[in-house]
Amino acid sequence: MADTSKRGLLQTGALMAAGAVVGCATPGTAANTPATPFTVSNTYVPIAGSSEMFPVRRIYCIGRNYAAHAIEMGSDPSREPPFFFQKPTDAIQVVPPGTVADHPYPTLTKNYHYEVELVAALSKGGRNIAMDKALDLVYGYALGLDMTRRDLQRGMGDQKKPWEIGKSFDHSAPIGPIHKVAQVGHYTKGAIWLKVNGQTKQQATLNHMIWSVAEQISKLSEAFELFPGDIIYSGTPENVGPVVKGDVIECHIDGLPELSVKIV
């Protein structure tokens, strides 16, 4: 119970800091809501320049989507098709711009890694989406972190077991506000970097992606029916590495507000 309450307080505090207000159900919809023995919180990300919130349905992540990162992880980027994994929606940690959010160092790991990523948020869905239509599904973009318990990820991989314990844990998906495509356009190029304690660790450009956002959406839609509310973490550049308690992570993508967290 304590952990659940703490998670709710963390998310509520972040949303309040971002100036977010979540409305109640209307009387017309309340009558159709089934009776339940307890309440499960929904997950929302603030929309920049709006009082509305983006409801998160699923979190998809693409693995090894920058060539140099694929090589550093022991893969051959010239031969590997795209692959994806998921995080639970309550992995989201909203980080308001201009703040340094406390990010809890997770249990069970001694090798906790950062991965800075562009995040695409969908407002439309479908199956088998043609690549030239894929960007029509994108509502907006955000800056995010795919935090990873690397020792657990590698240990499970060595045993041919699923990665979830290394990737899909509480607070493992920090994210900034979503910026509408209608206002900022699509992010297909520009710098992406990450610093730890002021020292640059990751640095690349978005056009270094092996698979573009449009290609990711098209490929994902072959395996899953996509829906409004789905978000896609689009991969990280090379030079991922560990952080410890007290470290401050700063993230940047050209055209988006920077995202900062302190490991606590």
For residues 120-148, give the mean pLDDT: 98
According to the model, what pLDDT value does residue 72 have?
72
Q: How many residues does the chain have?
A: 264
Most distant CA atoms of the chain, gap in Å: 55
Which pTM value belongs to this model? Answer: 0.86
Question: How sure is the predictor about 2, in pLDDT bands with cuts at 50, 70 and 90?
Answer: very low
What is residue 26's predicted lDDT score, i.e. its pLDDT?
40
* CA atoms of 129 and 145, how far apart (whole Å): 26
Measured CA to CA, the distance from residue 240 to residue 104 in angstroms comes to 19
Model pLDDT, residue 75:
72
CA 244 to chain centre: 21
pLDDT per residue as tens digits for the range 170-206: 999 999 999 999 999 999 999 999 999 999 999 999 9
pLDDT digits (tens, 9 = 90+) for 97-112: 999 999 999 999 999 9
> So what's the pLDDT on residue 14?
52
Reported as a single tens digit per residue, the pLDDT across 47-77 is 999 999 999 999 999 988 987 766 776 677 7
Residues 4-8, mean pLDDT to the nearest whole number: 45
Instruction: Point out which residues pair with 194 in neighbouring strands.
Output: 202, 251
Distances 97 to 152, 204, 239, 243, 252 between C-alpha atoms, Å: 31, 22, 25, 21, 11
Q: Tell me the pLDDT band of 31, cut-offs 50, 70 and 90.
A: low
41: pLDDT confidence band, cut at 50, 70 and 90?
A: very high
- The CA-to-CA distance between both ends of the chain, in Å, stands at 21
pLDDT, residue 103, reads 98
